[in-house]
Amino acid sequence: MPSYLHPGVYVEEIPSGSKPIEGVSTSVTAFVGDARRGPIGVANLIGKFDDYVKDYGGIASEDDHMGLAIQSFYLNGGGAAYICRLAGNASKVATIDFLGEGLADGGPTASPVLVVNAKNEGEWGNGIYVQIVKPDINSLTFDLNVGHLENGEFKLDESFSGLSLRENDDNYAFNIVNEYSTYVLLGLGQNAESNYQAAKIVGGRLDSANLDFKAKFLAPKSMSLEINGLGLKLINIDPASLILNGDHTHDGQAIADAIESAVNVLGTDPAYQSFVCEYNEGGPQDRFVLTSIKQDSNATIQVYGGDLAQFLHLDPEQKAVLEGSDVTLTDFNDSSSGLPNPKTSKDLIIKIDNYPESTITLDVAALGLDGNNENDGEKKDGGA
């Protein structure tokens, strides 16, 4: 405290308790606007102008206000910047389909097997050119080249070699290209999707005493299950989140929808996203059905128990049932059926539970196919 030794005017500073305004860093900024390419409606952090060129295509023209502003920002010592690309609702992704090789005569399939999409929306995708190369015509692998035209000639921007469409391979095309490509994303065509097969768990029949879901499903219940070998997961269903009205058809489907949603949110893996749960009703057939799909007929579902599984009559010991695609052939003995030589024996490799693989050989010549689809489908080896 100051000492006042004689009369006069004194100035004394008294702390007010408030802090002075501190400076705010201006080294991080954000740019929102039109860009040649890149994700739409998402703010991404970049650290240099080269990042903007790689992810958003750089300066599109002398009228590209955002591109020029970002360039100026970095020319003047800018550091981190968030980029948010905007585009109109009519913007679409450029796409191209590729047919596969047919099974019957080696000709092209009727519908696409592989779809190549530009990585994001915009006219820029129309300038992408792709090549699918088969160095070895007898191999199941292929190369994918992505580039652009320059003076009428193809110029390579990126290349992926030795790709496979078999999901269990280390060089599975969808894993490699969709993760590392700057320009494209791969998708399955309609023809390939039809080769997916479903694995199902069919719950036990529910009798009339089990159909009053509203009266009996009063507390949260859980169930442990594993889909397509992705690890054991626990799902919980709370009746408070359901709208049950006492009608077993409505209530059973409401429970099935809740189970399906609980699995869908487990992750982005196609096994979770394609999972379906249905309530099949109709007299003695009231039961819950769990379905998953996976390429190459490797789909699996295993229920490990829980009070929800018990409540729905889903046997913890029950394994998935693999179902083949619908048979739409005119005749089993027609070469167009996919069996180019009906006199040749056919092999089926199966693996049940965790037992070793087994091969079943079908002697086609001994079947005595007569051209009647229904009869031929029922025949057994040996013509029985």
In this predicted structure, what is the pLDDT of residue 171? Answer: 87
Average pLDDT over residues 203-209: 74
How confident is the model over 55-73, as a mean pLDDT? 91
CA 225 to chain centre: 20
Which residues of the chain form beta strands (DSSP E)? 29-33, 43-46, 81-85, 95-101, 108-118, 129-133, 142-150, 153-163, 184-188, 197-202, 221-227, 233-237, 276-280, 287-294, 301-305, 321-323, 346-350, 358-362
Structure token digits, residue 342 = 């009906």
- Asked if pLDDT for residue 30 goes beyond 70, the answer is yes
Note the pLDDT tens digit of each residue in 323-361: 554 444 444 555 444 443 445 566 766 655 445 667 777
> Which CATH topology does 197-323 take?
Immunoglobulin-like (2.60.40)
Residue intervals of the chain classified under CATH 2.60.40 are: 95-192, 197-323
Domain 95-192 has CATH 1.20.144: no
SS3 166: coil
Residue 290: pLDDT over 70 = yes
Q: Which two tokens stand for residue 140?
A: 């199941």
Per-residue model confidence as pLDDT tens digits over 103-135: 545 567 667 778 898 988 888 889 999 999 988
Does the structure show a pLDDT above 80 at 53?
yes
pTM of the model: 0.46
- Give the whole-angstrom CA distance, residue 337 versus residue 316: 39
Q: Which residue has the tokens 């070793």?
A: 356
Residue 80 has pLDDT above 50, yes or no: yes
Region of residue 60 (left: phi > 0; alpha: psi -120 to 50; beta: else) = alpha
β-pair type (43-46, 184-188): unpaired
| pLDDT in the model for residue 382 | 47
Asked if pLDDT for residue 295 goes beyond 90, the answer is no
